[in-house]
Amino acid sequence: MTWVVRVVLVGAFLWGVLREDVFHGWGYAALAAGFVLCAAAVRGCYLTTLAMRLWPSVALLGVPVLVGVAAQAAGSHAAATGLWCVSAAIAVERLPLGAGLAFAGVSLGAYVLALHDRSVTTAVTVVGVLLIGYSLRLDEEARGAGFRLLAQERAARRAEAESAALAERARIAREIHDVLAHSLSAQLVHLEAARLLIESDADRQRILERVAAARGMARQGLAETRQALSALRGELTPVEEFLREVAAAEGARLETAGEPRGLPAEAGLAVRRVAQEALTNVRKHAPGARVEMRFTYLEREVELWVKDSGARGTVEGLAASGAGYGLLGMRERAELLGGTLEAGPAGSDQEGFVVCLRVPT
């Protein structure tokens, strides 16, 4: 629509110039050359104002003014008037406001002096040109603000998408650590123990027990990997059912309290992983201990409490090692969800270790 308006205005301008019947013969060539020169100068002015170059813009915008002076001298008042008014409107629209008004004053001053007419029509024309230029300026500023807001929104969406991708990568990394590291470390413990037993010519039955335990951990790791894939797809079994299965497999006692309800995927996954890690720590650092688990539905959160009674067996080989990364991972998982995790000795009057997780739901 803008280009249609421009074409109509240029057509009306040329029609008005030709109606004066001032140009003849080579005069039409001069008219065409002047028109092309002014069009190129206005185009260049638009580009230099986009680059925020003031003086080149003023110089280019002065070309139509000078051509208007030449047209007035040749007797074409319509051409001169059109060029001076267009130059003034573009100056107010494109240049800094102070410089634009000053340039418009010069251009419209030439129009008033050449007209030799101080009527109300002249004043209305001058004011109208200034208002048109200022209106175009406001429109440009509004569109510029709109484009800047659009660019900021697109940048914010890109940043949000990148943040979501990083968060998803971190989630997958946590799942890989919690599943594979848990399973492989347990298998490594049993296989290393089997190696030591073989080197010491131990009883064949003890060696088979270790190998069978490693095989069981491999089978369990495969099942947990499938569960992790289901979790990443959003396909999770109820938390209580999972806790019952884990407690039964480890010989732990489980209690539940509160009104059961569905949990968000992330909260349910955190409860699963913390329960697994806590029971793994019991198996590694307190073999033979009795384990009590309590899962409670609170008003706006859930709580998982795991306590062991202290080591009853002997902690051997790699089972006695550990840098505490499991607890750090559990605490990180809880804090990412706005929850808390407390882990430490049961107390001065009790034996064992306690892990307590709270996550909002």
Residues 246-256 pLDDT 10s: 888 888 899 99
Give me the pLDDT at residue 314, please: 47
Give me the pLDDT at residue 203, please: 83
**200 exposure class (CB count in 10 Å sphere: 0-12, 13-18, 19+):** exposed
Instruction: List beta partners, residue 357.
Output: 304, 341
Winning range, highest mean pLDDT, from 27-41, 111-125, 162-176: 27-41
Q: Is the pLDDT of residue 322 over 90?
A: no
User: What would the mean pLDDT of 176-196 be, rounded to a whole number?
Assistant: 77
- Closest by CA position to 30, among listed 17, 19, 41: 17
DSSP state of 348: T
How many Å apart are CA 107 and CA 109, to the nearest integer? 5
Could you tell me the residue ranges of all domains in the chain? Answer: 2-116, 237-361
Fold of 237-361: Heat Shock Protein 90 (3.30.565)
How many Å apart are CA 294 and CA 291, to the nearest integer? 10
Give me the pLDDT at residue 117, please: 67
146 band by pLDDT with thresholds 50, 70 and 90: very high
Q: What is the largest CA-CA distance in the chain?
A: 123
User: What would the mean pLDDT of 100-118 be, rounded to a whole number?
Assistant: 86
178 band by pLDDT with thresholds 50, 70 and 90: low
For all residues of the chain together, what is the average pLDDT?
A: 83
Sheet with 291-297, edge to edge strand ranges: 253-257, 291-297, 301-308, 353-360, 340-345
Pair of tokens at residue 34? 């002047």
State the DSSP H helix or E strand holding residue 329, giving kind and residue range, or none if neither: helix 325-336
Give me the pLDDT at residue 118, please: 65
315 band by pLDDT with thresholds 50, 70 and 90: very low
Tens digit of pLDDT for each residue in 292-308? 999 999 988 999 999 98
Give me the pLDDT at residue 152, please: 94
Of residues 215 and 99, more confidence is placed in: 99
- Closest by CA position to 23, among listed 58, 86, 89, 71: 71
Give me the pLDDT at residue 320, please: 38
Give me the pLDDT at residue 54, please: 92
How many Å apart are CA 243 and CA 229, to the nearest integer? 18
Winning range, highest mean pLDDT, from 110-119, 130-139, 324-333: 130-139
Residues 195/200/205/209 CA torsion (nearest 10 deg): -30
127 band by pLDDT with thresholds 50, 70 and 90: very high
Give me the pLDDT at residue 94, please: 92
Tens digit of pLDDT for each residue in 198-241? 888 888 888 888 888 888 878 877 777 776 666 666 656 688 88
The answer to whether 257 and 297 have CB atoms below 8 angstroms apart is: yes
Give me the pLDDT at residue 214, please: 83
Of the chain, the end-to-end C-alpha distance in Å amounts to: 55
Residue 43: count of CB within 10 angstroms of its CB: 11
